[in-house]
Each structure stands twice: as structure tokens, then as C-alpha cells.
Structure 1
Amino acid sequence: MPLCTICHTPFDPPTTWRHTLTIAPQPKLCAKCVEQLSLITPPICDICGRPLKELAPEYIYDTICYDCYRWEHDPTWSQTLTRNRSLYTYNDFMKEAMALFKFRGDYAVIYAFQEKLQQFYKQHYNKQDLLIVPIPLSNERLHERGFNQAEAIASLLPKLNLLESIAQLLPLKHFFFQQPFRIENILTRTHHEKQSKKSRTDRIHAKNVFSTNTQKINKPILLIDDIYTTGSTLRHAAKVLKEAGATSVSALTLIRG
């Protein structure tokens, strides 16, 4: 009997034909842990994906939240990030799961979200010809942590199955099948104080820590990161990529803080 990836309790995983045929990853969480996950549901902000039901009416501007309204009315940042979509809210359970993953080095935790993440990607992005770019860590932070959490999340995105691979030879394939994607580490990051220690104002006005040597990207980019908090990290990265020729920059994050 397998152990739950988070609480390490033995559990009998539910199986479906998709699991039996290995089309879907085997469940990694017990029912008790699954119940504590909080999936984000509509209505959400059109730009950052924040649940609008958690906001007072005065902090909602048509279909976007007040934070995104401020971003979009700042000439420096307007239209830098097309949209972000996040899978889960940052509740207490998810905070503990991310602490296990990022700060205590339990890499296996990320596999608990693989199936939902793959479904989520297919729901929002699989019909697009995208270049996948994980948000990088600085060399110092990478040495400290031992792995890049954004790269770990990107590695879970769904690969083409046999039918989808064959379908790439067909006309109109993008209407019916998942499109292939490439994961490219084209961003670098200089070392800086942890974002979690900065105020929103400090994050927005901080010097851009990202750079790229890639020119004339000429493709839409999908940034991958673990959490969207203020949107500063993703927008700073998006700004560099758009200056290098990206036609658009969107993001997929596991959590909306």
C-alpha cells in the first residue's frame, strides 16, 4: 500500500482506466489531504487569475482585480503579462506542502500535483504553440536549495502521447490535439534578497534581476513558477522576454497567493 506524499499515511489510491493504462499519473495523495487542497474556481481576475469572490466589490474593476488595474495603468508595465492562471489557493495546507518541497528538500511533494497540473495545462494552454520558460533561480539560491522549483513544475507538463505525436502530421491539428512545446532556460537571474521579504512597492520598483542573451524569440512564451503573489517576478521576467522579441508572455503557476 503506497504512502501519501504529504502526510505519509498509507492509503488505497482510487484507480480509473486512465491510471490503469498509465495515461494518467498514479494518485499520490490520500483522501484527507486531497480534501484540504483548495482549487481556484471562477469568477477569477482575467489577468492574474485571482479568485474575485475573496475581494470586496470596491477592489474589482469590471473583470480584473485592483492589483491588475494598477499594473495595467502603469505605462511601464501595461500589457507586459497577458495572463496568469493558477491551480490552487495558498491556504495553510498548501503553505505546509510548499515548505516541505522548497525549504525542506522533499522533491517528491511536487508529484502530488502532477495529474491536476497536466489537466490544468491542457485546459488553458495545450492548443498553443508555446515556448515554456521556467522562472530561474540565482546560482546562489540554486546552490542553497539544490533544485529549481519552477523547472520541477515544468517537468510535469504533459508530453505528447502516440496519437498526439502522429496528429502533428495532420492539417488543423492545433484545433483538436495538444501542441508540442519546448522547455527552454533562456533567462538568467542575479542574486537578490528573497521576494517574500520585500513589500509590494519594493518588488515593483526593484531593479530587474532577469536577463537573456536570446534575441528575436518571435514566439509566445509561457512562464512557469510555483506561486503568483504580487505579479512582480513574472512581469519583470516578461518585460525582458518581450524586449527580446516574444510575441506575448503568459504564465502558469501552481498557486495564487
Structure 2
Amino acid sequence: MDNCLYCHQPLRHSSSWHHFFSPNHRVQLCHMCKEKLLKISGELCQKCGRPLSALSPQYYQSGLCSDCQKWEQDAVYKGTLGQNRSLYLYNSFCKDVMAQFKFRGDYALLHLFQSDWVTLYKQVYSPAYLLVPIPLSDERLYERGFNQSLALAELLSSNIYEGLTRIHHEKQSKKSRGERLEMKSVFNVRDGSRLKSKDVVLIDDIYTTGMTLHAAAIVLKQAGANSVQSFTLARS
């Protein structure tokens, strides 16, 4: 019998025709854990994908939340990053799962997200888009052993560009919102030939302030990308 990949309790499979004819399509989460992993739905901010139902009316206008209105009023960042879509709300359960996935190296937890992650991507983005995972610095990659954004991108397509590089920087999770917004660009492009006139989707684990994705989008556009959008696993 299979166990839930998160809480390790035994899973009960329903005896359906789909189960018999799709042996590789296996449930990875028990019912209780699955209920805690909340998909983003309803009316969303047209830019960052934040659920507008969680905001008071004064914090959004013309389909944009107040944060995205500020991004579009900024002379540096206006128009650099198009639509972002995120799969899950970054609630306490999602935070715990992702911490176990990223920081404790439980790579198997990637399969918890796979089906929902691939399904949403196909609904929103074209197969022709070039995927660009947000990179880790060499130091951070050595600590973790893998780049979670690259792992997420590989679930979606083989059309991946890994030429975006990152200078070592303090962990984003340790920064305040203000410090993140003041962060200078820490990204470089190693070889921009594959980016010329391409429509790009940045892949990352969490959309928090949007600073990381906007900073990466600027560098990619300067290197020749036609447009830059983003797709993240969770939205805080």
C-alpha cells in the first residue's frame, strides 16, 4: 500500500476504471493533506495572479491590485513582467511542504505538485514558450544540492534556458519586504542567443513581492527576450 508523501499515512485508492487503466497516475497525498493545499481560484489580479477576494475594494482597481499598480507606475519596472500565475496559496501547510522540499532535500515531494502544476500551465501558457528557471547562486546550490525552480520547470517542458545566472546573495526569506524591493539586480545572462525574440516564462517556487521576478525580467528583456511572464508554485 502507498503512503502519503507528506504525512506518511496509508493511502486508500478508489477502485475506479481510471485507476485500473492508469497505474502510473497515483494519488500522492492523503485526503486530509490535500484539503490543506489550496488552489488559487476566482477573480485574480490580471498581473500577479493574487486572488482579489482576499483584498478590500480600495486595494485593487481596473483588475490590478495596489502592488501591481505600483509596479506599473515605476519607470524602471513598468512593462517588464507580464502576467504571473500561481498554483497554490502560500498558507502555513504549503509553507511547511515547500520548506521540506527545498531546505530538507525531500525531492520526492515534487510529485505532490506535478499533476496540478502541469495542468494549470497547459491552461495558461503556450508550449512554444521558453522556460527560464530562477537560478540559485553557486553557494546556495551547493547547500541544497538542487535548484527547485529547475526541477519545477523540468516537469513542464524540455524547452528550458539555463543561461540566467545569479550572484551570491542573502536568502530572500531573511529579508523584509522593504529590503527586497531595494535589492539591486543580482542576475546575469551567460549567453543570450537563445533569448532573441523569444516569449519567456520565468519559473519560480514562490511569488512574494515580485522583486525577484521583475529583476530577472529586466535582464532577460535587455538580452533580447520579446516578452517575459512568470509561473510560480505558490503566491503569498
User: Which deviates more from structure 2 when the two are superposed, residues 213-222 or residues 67-76?
Assistant: 213-222
Give the 5 Å matches for 1:1-257. 1-14=1-14, 20-22=20-22, 25-125=25-125, 127-157=126-156, 182-216=159-193, 217=195, 218-257=197-236
2: CA distance between counterparts of 1:206 and 1:222?
Answer: 22
Rounded Cα–Cα distance in structure 1 between residues aligned with 2:82 and 2:233 = 17
Letter in 1 for 2:181: I
What amino acid maps onto 1:123 in structure 2?
Answer: Q
Give the superposition deviation at 1:12. Answer: 1.6
What CA RMSD, in Å, does the superposition of the two structures yield over aligned residues?
A: 1.7
- Work out whether residues 163 and 192 of structure 2, in 8 Å CA contact, stay in contact via their aligned partners in 1: no
How many residues were matched structurally? 234
Per the TM alignment, residue 201 of structure 1 is displaced from its structure 2 partner at its CA by 2.6
Residue 249 (structure 1) shift: 0.4
Give the Cα–Cα distance (whole angstroms) in 2 for the partners of residues 81 and 17 of structure 1: 44
Cα pair distance change 1:16/1:191, threshold 3 Å = farther
| 1:205 shift after superposition | 2.2
**Contact 1:4–1:29 (CA under 8 A) maintained in structure 2:** yes
| CA distance in 2: counterparts of 1:60 and 1:23, whole angstroms | 45
The TM-score normalised by the length of structure 1 is: 0.86
The alpha carbon displacement at 1:20 in A equals 4.7
Question: In 2, are the aligned partners of 1:13 and 1:30 still within 8 Å (CA)?
Answer: no
Cα offset, 1:215, TM superposition: 2.8
Q: Using the alignment, how far apart are the partners of 1:109 and 1:14 within structure 2?
A: 22
Deviation at 1:200, TM superposition (A): 2.3
Q: What does the per-residue CA deviation read over 1:116-141, in whole Å, with 9 as the maximum and x for residues that have no partner?
A: 1111111111x351111111000000
Partner deviation per Cα, 1:139-197 (whole Å, 9 max, x = no partner):
0000011111101111222x6xxxxxxxxxxxxxxxxxxxxx60120100010111122
Q: Secondary structure at the match of 1:225?
A: strand
Distance 1:201 1:109 in 2: 31
Separation in 2, partners of 1:186, 1:95 = 28
Q: Which runs of 5+ in 1 are unaligned?
A: 160-180
Residues 18 and 24 of structure 1 are in contact (CA less than 8 Å); yes or no, is this contact kept in structure 2? no
| Residue 169 (structure 1) aligns with | none
| Partner deviation per Cα, 1:83-121 (whole Å, 9 max, x = no partner) | 110000011110110111111111111111111111111
Amino acid at match of 1:224: I
TM-score by length of 2: 0.94
- Distance in 1, matches of 2:223 and 2:47, equals 22
Q: Percent identity?
A: 50
Extract unaligned runs of 5+ from structure 2: none
